[in-house]
């Protein structure tokens, strides 16, 4: 075995909590619009707006906030009150200010790996927000490179891993099959899926083709054993 030359990590819901804040805001959004739509209907309309807007706003809280406003306008035939729009904007700002919570075991695992491999953080989302969260996490110095990208495709991984000797010697770890695992495998890298309890519907994938380069664990600490066996 040639071994690995670079290890990459996703950030949101891999190193720290993220989706739970979106869920809390979405609950609040459903309460605000309870008189106009059933929760399931509203959730479906919001997901449709978010997906539709990805190409314009990219991933992240700002796009989510604008999509909530758009959905509120849509389901009320543009009769939603300015006070509700104000509350939605407040929710978005609150999310952008919310302190992050790093998962157990992340600091020690990254420190162990950083002594042996260059580590790369690969995350999508709002540039300011991802930079803020990384700074707050205290993990920034463990990474050789930080890539805040607009989307995670096989080409994205190929380009980044190309700077570290190529995808065949790279490993990508993350919680999202759609963004972290499948495109990294398609680029030729190894991948470690670390599922999180909460996954945004957009990131869900029905079928994952089997691959000898795909690994699964429920605990980021176990990634060290997985890497040792590659
Ligand atoms: Mg993630």
CB-proximal residues (5 Å) to ion ligand 1? 10, 12-13, 175-176
| Centroid of ligand 1 to alpha carbon of 178 (angstroms) | 10
CA nearest neighbour of 94 among 135, 129, 122: 129
Rounded to whole angstroms, the Cα distance separating 195 from 43 reads 22
| Centroid of ligand 1 to alpha carbon of 131 (angstroms) | 15
Residue 1 reports pLDDT greater than 80:
no
What value does the mean pLDDT take over residues 159-188? 97
In which band, very low, low, confident or very high, does the pLDDT at 131 lie, cut at 50, 70 and 90?
A: very high
Find all residues with CB under 8 Å of 102, minimum gap 6, and list them.
15, 16, 137, 138, 139
CA nearest neighbour of 184 among 135, 221, 147: 147
36, 41, 44, 51, 167 from 7: Cα distances, Å: 47, 40, 36, 30, 10
| Centroid of ligand 1 to alpha carbon of 17 (angstroms) | 9
Mean pLDDT over each residue of the chain, to the nearest integer: 95
What value does the mean pLDDT take over residues 157-170? 98
In which band, very low, low, confident or very high, does the pLDDT at 199 lie, cut at 50, 70 and 90?
A: confident
| pLDDT for position 2 | 55
| pLDDT for position 165 | 96
Q: What is the pLDDT of residues 29-76, one digit of tens each?
A: 999 999 999 999 999 999 999 999 999 999 999 999 999 999 999 999
In which band, very low, low, confident or very high, does the pLDDT at 204 lie, cut at 50, 70 and 90?
A: confident
In which band, very low, low, confident or very high, does the pLDDT at 197 lie, cut at 50, 70 and 90?
A: confident
Phi, psi torsion values for 121, nearest 5 degrees: -95, 125
| pLDDT for position 203 | 83
24, 43, 183, 195, 206 from 209: Cα distances, Å: 33, 29, 12, 16, 10
| Centroid of ligand 1 to alpha carbon of 179 (angstroms) | 8
What would the 3-class secondary structure string for the chain be? CCCCCEEEECCECCCECCHHHHHHHHHHHHHHCCCCCCHHHHHHHHHHHHHHHHHHHCCCHHHHHHHHHHHHHHHCCCCCCHHHHHHHHHHHHHHHHCCCCECCCHHHHHHHHHCCCCEEEEEECCHHHHHHHHHHHCCHHHCCEEEEECCCCHHHHHHHHHCCCCHHHEEEEECCHHHHHHHHHHHCCEEEECCCCCCCHHHCCCCCCCCCCEEECCCHHHHHHHHHHC
| pLDDT for position 120 | 98
| Centroid of ligand 1 to alpha carbon of 102 (angstroms) | 13
Q: Beta partners for 9?
A: 121, 173
Identify the weakest region by mean pLDDT among 18-27, 195-204, 205-214. 195-204
Rounded to whole angstroms, the Cα distance separating 171 from 1 reads 14
Do the Cβ atoms of 85 and 69 come closer than 8 Å?
yes
Identify the weakest region by mean pLDDT among 59-73, 140-154, 195-209. 195-209
| Centroid of ligand 1 to alpha carbon of 81 (angstroms) | 34
């Amino acid at each position: 075995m040639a071994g690995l030359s670079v290890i990459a990590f996703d950030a949101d819901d891999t190193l720290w909590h993220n989706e739970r804040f979106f869920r809390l805001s979405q609950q609040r959004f459903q309460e605000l619009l309870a008189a106009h739509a059933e929760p399931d209907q509203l959730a479906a309309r919001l997901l449709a707006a978010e997906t539709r807007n990805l190409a314009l706003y990219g991933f992240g809280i700002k796009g989510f906030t604008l999509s909530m406003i758009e959905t509120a306008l849509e389901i009320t035939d543009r009769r939603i009150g300015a006070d509700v729009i104000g509350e939605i904007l407040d929710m978005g700002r609150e999310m952008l200010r919310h302190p992050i919570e790093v998962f157990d075991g992340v600091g020690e695992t990254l420190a162990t790996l950083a002594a042996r491999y260059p580590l790369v953080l690969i995350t999508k989302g709002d540039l300011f927000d991802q930079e803020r969260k990384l700074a707050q996490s205290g993990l920034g110095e463990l990474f050789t490179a930080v890539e805040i990208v607009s989307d995670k495709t096989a080409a994205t991984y190929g380009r980044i891993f190309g700077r570290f000797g190529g995808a065949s010697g790279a490993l990508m770890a993350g919680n999202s099959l759609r963004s972290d695992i499948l495109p990294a495998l398609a680029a030729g890298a190894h991948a470690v899926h670390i599922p999180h309890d909460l996954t945004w519907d957009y990131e869900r994938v029905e079928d994952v083709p089997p691959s000898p380069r795909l690994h699964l664990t429920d605990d980021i600490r176990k990634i060290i054993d997985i890497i040792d066996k590659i």
